Amino acid sequence: MLESETDGAEVGVSGLLVVDIGNTRTRFGLWEDGGVEGVSAVATESIAGPAEVASQVATLSGAPGGHGLSLALCSVVPRAEAAWLAWQRKQGGRALAIRGDTPTPLDNCYDDPQALGPDRLAAAVGAVRRLGAPVIVVSLGTATVVDAVSEEAEFLGGAIVAGVQTGLTALAERTAALPQVTVEAPERTIGRDTEECLSIGAVVGTAALVEGLAARLRDIVGDSAPLALTGGYAELISEHIWIEHEMLPSLTLEGIATIWEHNRGRA
């Protein structure tokens, strides 16, 4: 819900801090003139309380101390979300913590909207804002998520698999012989040692998975549905996707801002 922490004048959209709290990293920036400015990223685990939030916000141009900024966020890490909201309460202004059932410009068709990750919803809203509907949205982070929005602007859901690095880590932990490797751009498609095979499987395999799921979802929502990529591994995977797609790094942040605007009248 949209909460007001002060009785002062309403803060304009130009004074909006948008925050996407993921399992691995947190991205944030200022929403100004229909775009996100000064986008920064920090390890989610490094934000333990309001003091760490204040330190990060102070790096944003035109936001000394963050006083008076409104805050809109989506989070999959409750502890980190609590830190950002605690910081906002000290600063004053309004805050919106997006949930899976938060009203948006989309018709949410998820069976249990409360169980829907708010980052998935925000990315879908951002994709429709940028590319229209129908659209297929791919978020490449700790998990690889492929979601579909219909021509009628319905969020339909999608598929979730282990993320690029997450899958490699799981193999190293659950097997006796496979080593831990860090994701790197492969130089070829056929690996000649175990480490290279793992890297190719993670990167090229994820690209092929995205292509395959996109094709199947287009059978449902329409062949004309554009494909949007976002997330920390999007740039790496994009190089190995052979079908046309859009790289939109700030997609989720833009969706968060769009949801904020949609809910401002409901405060």
Catalytic residue among 112, 119, 147, 223: 119
Instruction: DSSP letter for 264, please.
Output: G
Contact by Cβ (8 Å): 255, 121 = yes
Distance CA 147, CA 159 (A): 6
Is 119 known to be catalytic?
yes
Residues 6 or more apart in contact with residue 189 via CB below 8 angstroms: 200, 204
111, burial (CB in 10 Å: exposed 0-12, middle 13-18, buried 19+): exposed
- C-alpha dihedral over 21, 22, 28, 34, to 10 degrees? -100
Distance CA 200, CA 185 (A): 8
Which positions are annotated as active-site residues?
Answer: 119
